[in-house]
């Protein structure tokens, strides 16, 4: 019996070996190398600095770096606002889509999913074109309707962050909508029948039956979107470049700048370790809440 188990183990290992080897080489080795660099004082602007060991000095610098904390705060605002707006809009769109069936549903779903297939960089460029103060569609509309809005939303901190959030909402609301739609379609019909027999009204059905049924999927979607939003880079890079000032400098952009604009490699490596640990905590939480639950069912 034990022999049979062992042979199965060996077969399993054989199937896993290519992935284990390649992932070790292209993810594990770089991450360990990154950890090593973070204890040194490697900077491109100083020769020989690659070998100066400084211990935890880079990490101490991070904790007292105002720009780091600013980036964390900007990212937090961005993640919370964009995920929340996507959630609300996405659920509404999903409920609408769920109302139609057949080829009409397929056509509408195809249209709805367009934004999330557009490369994030292109989304950023698209909006910088539309928001161009001289010839953009936005400033034309502001003039046309005599709106009391700034014609250059990207030149003020608060509104620039708002625009960045909007581009993310534009791109990823479809994701929330499709996830919710899938949950709605998979929902059993019996609770609805029972509710109708008991004479429940529409809002009661929505809040007491629909919401609880789709809640697990919505929870997963929020986590997935939240994690992806933490990693926003392309749109901020091309649309605002972190500015004005550093009002839209999200954490990945800040880290990128430290590494490839200021060439503070070791400091950036330490930032990467911090980011990795933060995401690891999210990963463990996610694992315990979602995957753990699934395997218990």
Which 243-272 residues touch other proteins, going by CB under 8 A? Answer: 252, 255-256, 259-260, 265, 268-269, 272
Restricting to residues 173-202, name those near other proteins by CB under 8 A: 175, 178-179, 181-182
* One residue of 100, 149, 158, 206 binding other proteins per CB under 8 A: 100
Residue 147 within binding range of other proteins, rule CB under 8 A: no
Restricting to residues 58-97, name those near other proteins by CB under 8 A: 96
Q: Which is nearer to other proteins, 198 or 277 (CB)?
A: 277
Q: Which is nearer to other proteins, 18 or 198 (CB)?
A: 18
Residue 18 within binding range of other proteins, rule CB under 8 A: yes
Restricting to residues 36-65, name those near other proteins by CB under 8 A: 37
Provide the minimum distance between the beta carbon of 165 and other proteins in the complex, in angstroms, as a whole number: 15
* One residue of 227, 246, 247, 263 binding other proteins per CB under 8 A: 227
* One residue of 69, 140, 206, 207 binding other proteins per CB under 8 A: 140
Residue 145 within binding range of other proteins, rule CB under 8 A: no
Q: Can you give the chain as a three-state secondary structure string?
A: CHHHHHHHHHHHHHHHHHHHHHHHHHHHHHHHHHHHHCCECCCCCCCCHHHCECCCHHHHHHHCCHHHHHHHHHHHHHHHHHHHHHHHHHHHHHHHHHHCCHHHHHHHHHHHCHHHHCCHHHHHHHHHHHCCCCCCHHHHHHHHCCCCCCCCHHHCHHHHHHHHHHHHHHHHHHHHHHHHHHHHHHCCCHHHHHHHHCCCCHHHHHHHHHHHHHHHHHHHHHHHHHHHHHCCCHHHHHHCCCCCCCCCCCHHHHHHHHHHCCCCHHHHHHHHHHHHHHHHHHHHHHHHHHHHHHHHC
Provide the minimum distance between the beta carbon of 234 and other proteins in the complex, in angstroms, as a whole number: 5
* 15-23, 63-71, 76-84, 195-203 -> range binding other proteins (CB under 8 A): 15-23
Residue 288 within binding range of other proteins, rule CB under 8 A: no
Q: How far apart are CA 91 and CA 181, in angstroms?
A: 8
Provide the minimum distance between the beta carbon of 161 and other proteins in the complex, in angstroms, as a whole number: 19
Q: Which is nearer to other proteins, 208 or 294 (CB)?
A: 294
* 27-35, 58-66, 147-155, 202-210 -> range binding other proteins (CB under 8 A): 27-35
Q: How far apart are CA 238 and CA 104, in angstroms?
A: 36
Q: How far apart are CA 238 and CA 129, in angstroms?
A: 11
Q: How far is Cα of residue 273 from the mean position of the Cα atoms in its chain?
A: 19
Restricting to residues 113-132, name those near other proteins by CB under 8 A: 113-122, 125-127, 129-130
Q: Which is nearer to other proteins, 69 or 287 (CB)?
A: 287
């Amino acid at each position: 019996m034990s022999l049979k188990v062992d042979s199965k183990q060996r077969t399993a290992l054989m199937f896993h070996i290519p992935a284990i080897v390649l992932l070790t080489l292209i993810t594990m080795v770089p991450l360990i190398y990154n950890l090593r660099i973070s204890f040194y004082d490697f900077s491109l602007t100083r020769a020989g600095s690659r070998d100066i060991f400084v211990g935890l000095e880079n990490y101490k610098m991070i904790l007292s770096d105002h720009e780091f904390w600013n980036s964390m705060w900007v990212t937090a605002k961005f993640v919370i606002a964009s995920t929340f707006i996507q959630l609300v809009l996405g659920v509404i769109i999903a409920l609408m889509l769920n109302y139609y069936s057949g080829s009409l549903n397929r056509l509408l779903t195809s249209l709805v999913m367009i934004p999330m297939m557009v490369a994030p960089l292109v989304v950023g460029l698209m909006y910088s074109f539309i928001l161009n103060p001289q010839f953009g569609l936005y400033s034309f509309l502001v003039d046309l309707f005599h709106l009391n809005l700034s014609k250059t939303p990207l030149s003020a901190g608060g509104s620039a962050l708002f625009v960045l959030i909007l581009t993310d909402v534009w791109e990823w609301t479809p994701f929330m909508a499709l996830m919710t739609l899938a949950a709605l379609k998979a929902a059993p019909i019996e609770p609805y029948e029972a509710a109708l027999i008991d004479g429940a009204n529409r809002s009661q059905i929505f809040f007491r039956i629909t919401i609880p049924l789709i809640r697990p999927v919505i929870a997963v979607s929020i986590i997935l979107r939240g994690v992806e939003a933490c990693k926003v880079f392309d749109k901020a890079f091309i649309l605002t470049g972190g500015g004005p000032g550093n009002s839209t400098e999200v954490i990945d952009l800040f880290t990128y700048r430290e590494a490839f604009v200021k060439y503070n490699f070791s400091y950036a490596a330490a930032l990467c370790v911090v980011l990795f640990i933060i995401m690891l905590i999210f990963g463990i939480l996610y694992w315990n809440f979602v995957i753990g639950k699934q395997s218990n069912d």
